[in-house]
């Protein structure tokens, strides 16, 4: 009887904690969605469940004559997708090299990557701005992509190396006996087994640039080059700007590609993230 009561208490506490966490997560989401459907421009009179909901703010954002929202959305998608592709390629090659080969400077390289991943990109804003200015990459998407890719390499390399270390090296040796070269082993043996960690790296490297504001705000200058977050900020930060409900509508739409990508990769996400935590 005591065991049954203890089990009921544990379940009750578990559901209580889950319920509290759900409220903490869902409550602000409901508010932002409700605000985006409220008429008017101010958030002061907004409610979670508006009495007279309207989609006018969404229509405004999709009106090419009134707003550059779709252009900003395209810029963010383009930058994030290219960053994701380049990051996955560069991190795969780098992590494979550190995992499978022994070379001079390997240990120091891993330590350097470990130190670099502790330093956020915005800590080097001045250096990034000066470098971009001297190379003519100010107000270009190329400059932003290069900064994002460079910032993604250290952490994701360490993460992927930990996963590749769990793949038996005997597979490589067997393939070499059969006459396979380094590239064939990489593409046909190791990478198919590394799909979980590739999905994790792809997700991380897409979310980071898509949700970044600071670097994009520093490097981009013209309205046509703005990313989504910078464009939305300018919408409400301009003089006498009070389009907060439109900002809310734009913020709601930001979640769509991230949620879609997460749903696509979710079956790999947990296994890839936990396996990458092994010691190399």
Q: For residue range 3-52, what is the model confidence (pLDDT) as tens digits?
A: 778 888 888 999 999 999 988 888 888 888 888 888 876 666 566 677 78
Share of the chain above pLDDT 90, in %: 27
Q: For residue range 53-94, what is the model confidence (pLDDT) as tens digits?
A: 888 888 888 888 888 999 999 999 999 999 999 999 999 999
Contact 153, 88 (CB under 8 A): no
Q: For residue range 157-178, what is the model confidence (pLDDT) as tens digits?
A: 988 998 898 888 888 888 888 8
Q: What is the pLDDT of residue 81?
A: 95
What mean pLDDT, rounded, does the chain reach?
Answer: 84
CA distance linking residue 188 with residue 182, whole number of Å: 10
Q: What is the pLDDT of residue 56?
A: 87
CA distance linking residue 250 with residue 11, whole number of Å: 39
Predicted TM-score (pTM) of the model is 0.83
Confidence of residue 134 (pLDDT cuts 50, 70, 90): very high
Contact 152, 208 (CB under 8 A): yes
Contact 245, 42 (CB under 8 A): yes
Confidence of residue 216 (pLDDT cuts 50, 70, 90): very high
Helix (H, G, I), strand (E, B) or coil at 208: helix
Angle at 166 between CA 195 and CA 121, to 5 degrees: 65
- For the cut 90, the answer to whether the pLDDT of residue 226 exceeds it is yes
Torsion region of 19: left, alpha or beta (phi above 0 gives left; psi -120 to 50 gives alpha): alpha
Confidence of residue 139 (pLDDT cuts 50, 70, 90): very high
Q: For residue range 96-120, what is the model confidence (pLDDT) as tens digits?
A: 999 888 888 888 888 888 887 777 7
- Tokens for 42, please give them: 């101010």
Any residues with CB less than 8 A from the CB of 219 and at least 6 apart, and which? Answer: 128, 129, 132, 137, 138, 139, 140, 143, 144, 147
Any residues with CB less than 8 A from the CB of 166 and at least 6 apart, and which? Answer: 275, 278
């Amino acid at each position: 009887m005591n065991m049954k009561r203890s089990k009921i208490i544990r379940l009750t506490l578990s559901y209580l904690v889950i319920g509290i966490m759900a409220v903490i997560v869902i409550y602000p989401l409901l508010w932002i969605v409700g605000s985006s459907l409220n008429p008017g421009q101010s958030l002061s009179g907004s409610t979670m469940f508006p009495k007279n909901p309207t989609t006018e703010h969404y229509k405004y954002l999709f009106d090419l004559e009134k707003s550059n929202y779709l252009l900003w959305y395209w810029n963010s998608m383009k930058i994030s997708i290219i960053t994701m592709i380049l990051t996955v390629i560069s991190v795969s090659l780098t992590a494979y090299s550190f995992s499978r080969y022994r070379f001079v400077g390997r240990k120091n390289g891993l330590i350097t990557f470990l130190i670099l991943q502790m330093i956020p990109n915005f800590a080097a804003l001045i250096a990034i701005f000066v470098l971009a200015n001297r190379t003519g990459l100010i107000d270009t998407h190329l400059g932003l992509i290069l900064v994002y890719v460079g910032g993604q390499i250290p952490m994701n390399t360490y993460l992927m190396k930990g996963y590749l270390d769990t793949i038996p090296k005997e597979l490589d040796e067997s393939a070499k006996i059969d006459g396979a070269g380094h590239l064939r082993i990489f593409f046909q043996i190791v990478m198919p087994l590394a799909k979980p960690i590739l999905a994790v790296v792809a997700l991380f490297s897409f979310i980071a640039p898509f949700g970044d504001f600071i670097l994009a705000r520093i490097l981009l200058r013209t309205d046509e080059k703005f990313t989504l977050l910078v464009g939305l900020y300018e919408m409400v930060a301009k003089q006498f700007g009070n389009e907060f409900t439109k900002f809310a509508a734009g913020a709601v739409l930001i979640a769509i590609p991230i949620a879609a990508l997460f749903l696509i990769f979710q079956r790999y996400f947990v296994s890839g993230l936990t396996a990458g935590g092994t010691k190399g």
